[in-house]
C-alpha cells in the first residue's frame, strides 16, 4: 500500500492515504465503504476506494503489518480497517 508523509498541515509528521476530491479515470476502483471523523473544529466524511496504480506513482510502499506500526491519523486508521476486511 502506498502512503505519503504529511509535511504541511494539521497532521504534519503523520503518514496517510492519498485524499482527493476527484476520482481517477484510469485504473480499477473498488469502493470499500465510508469513514466519518470529528476533529475539534471540523467534520470529515470520506468514501474509501482501493485503486490499482503504477508502482512509480509513489516513492514508498508498505505492507499491512508495517502500516499498523506507523503513525497514522485516526481517519487513516479507519480507512485501514476497511482495507483489512
For 46-80, the pLDDT digits (tens) are 999 998 888 888 878 899 999 999 999 899 999 99
Which domains does the chain show, CATH number per domain? 4-84 (3.90.79.10)
Give 12-54 pLDDT, tens digit per residue: 889 988 888 888 776 778 999 999 988 788 888 999 999 888 8
Note the pTM of the prediction, 2 decimals: 0.78
Residue environment code for 25-38, b if the CB has 16+ CB neighbours within 10 A, otherwise e? eeeeeeebeebebe
HEC sequence for 14-44 = CEECCCCCCCCCCCCEEEEEEEEEECCCCEE
9, 17, 25, 32, 84 from 6: Cα distances, Å: 7, 10, 25, 23, 23
> For 15, phi and psi rounded to 5 degrees?
-85, 155
Amino acid at each position: 500500500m502506498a502512503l505519503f508523509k504529511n509535511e504541511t498541515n494539521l497532521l504534519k509528521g503523520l503518514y496517510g492515504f492519498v485524499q482527493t476530491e476527484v476520482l481517477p479515470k484510469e485504473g480499477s476502483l473498488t469502493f470499500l465503504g465510508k469513514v466519518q471523523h470529528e476533529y475539534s473544529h471540523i467534520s470529515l466524511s470520506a468514501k474509501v476506494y482501493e485503486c490499482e496504480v503504477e508502482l512509480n506513482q509513489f516513492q514508498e510502499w508498505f505492507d499491512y503489518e508495517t502500516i499498523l506500526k506507523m503513525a497514522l491519523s485516526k481517519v487513516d486508521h479507519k480507512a485501514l480497517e476497511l482495507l483489512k476486511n
